[in-house]
Amino acid sequence: MTIDDAPREALRGGPRELLRWVATGAAVSRADLSRLSGLSPSTVSQRVEALINQGLLEETGAGRSRGGRRPRQLAVPTGGAVVGAIDLGAHHARVGTLDLSGRVVQARTLPVRIEDGPEQVLGSLLAEVAALVGAAAPVSSDGASAATGGEAAGALRGLGIGIPGPVQHATGRIVSPSRMPGWNGFDVAAFCAGRVDVPIIVDNDANLMALGAHRTAHSELDHAVYIKAGTGIGSGVISSGRLHRGAQGSAGDISHCRVVADPAPPCSCGNAGCLEAVASGAALVTALREQGVTVSDLTGVIRLIDDGDRHATALARQAGRAIGEILAVVVNFFNPQVVAIGGRLADCEPLLASMRATLYERCLPLATQTLLIERVATSQDVGITGAAHLVIDHVVAAN
């Protein structure tokens, strides 16, 4: 059983939680970890030594004595070892390196053309990761490193990648993406593993946003739903404190749930009336153009809404209601403690207000009695933060 498979109760005092307590400053010594976890000092010491041997914790000196021997202080290493992260979108990618506590070391946003295909897009992004890590070896045009050795290359402990389409998590393979021509069936993990000699973890971008937002803002909550609303729409589910993917990795994919009866706008998946076809950023652009409003992309839509354009505002409210109707089913069925929306449409107040009103109208009172409905309260780095935590969890579980 891996950390991802273990019940939340079993994680109390597990390696990941010990690491998290030190990373957040809640604990600075073995005694602190024993107090927080309820585990015996000998058990804590054994687990801490294992984390130190893995390079995930280090001893930084002696702390203040409370009447006995001065305790040795613990910290997450801040220099050297990092994890790489790629949060890929349809038009942009966020690339970064993060330390072993999940804090961003360096990050940059790059324009991409998803239609250029996986080899070209991923090859260029791997080269960016290598540049951020500081690899001395040159990188070829296909993203392959000319050398795998060197101190800088050895500092990379793993790479997490978020893909804006369905991902079979166990294999790292993309399955029938609707807006990614040439990507269907592509083995992202294998492609990247042939170019960087570290563990590669691939997941849907909404799942990475959910994990990053949960670890950053709601780690004390057990059940949460995070929606990513941008060019497309997706969501990630946290159940019993951990990311829930379902049997094949498609849990949380609300984008192709039907919300409009015939006649309905066609969806990129081949069906009609899907949530993505009526409430995504791409759908708003299309609808405005059909009304004769000149708009080129989602940025233009948001600008119109901010300026109070009646056509754009009305469409945003309709989109919020559509998202709220689907989420009402999710909330009634799953009963989360928080529903948070991220992505570029999260800052659209008419959409958020309409979504919130629909949830309160359509959900059972018991389901919304203490439900938090809010924006994802983290920055543009939430996706790469989730990717980093995914890698760190894997490294901890594998040792």
Question: DSSP letter at 43?
Answer: H
For residue range 266-316, list pLDDT tens digits in order: 888 888 999 999 999 999 999 999 999 999 999 999 999 999 999 999 999
pTM: 0.85
Helices 15-24 and 30-37: angle between axes, nearest 10 degrees: 120
Q: How far is CA 240 from the centre of its chain?
A: 17
Model confidence pLDDT, tens digit, residues 44-83: 999 999 888 888 888 887 655 555 556 689 988 766 678 9
- Interval 193-228: pLDDT, tens: 999 999 999 999 999 999 999 999 998 899 999 999
> Which residue in the block uniquely carries the two structure tokens 């909550």?
221
Q: Other C-beta atoms within 10 Å of 384: how many? A: 29
CA gap 302, 309 in Å, rounded: 10
Is the pLDDT at 137 greater than 50, yes or no? no
What is the helix (H) or strand (E) element at residue 105, kind and residue range?
strand 104-111
- The pLDDT tens digits of the residues spanning 241-268 come to 999 999 999 999 999 999 987 778 888 8
| Band (366; pLDDT cuts 50, 70, 90) | very high
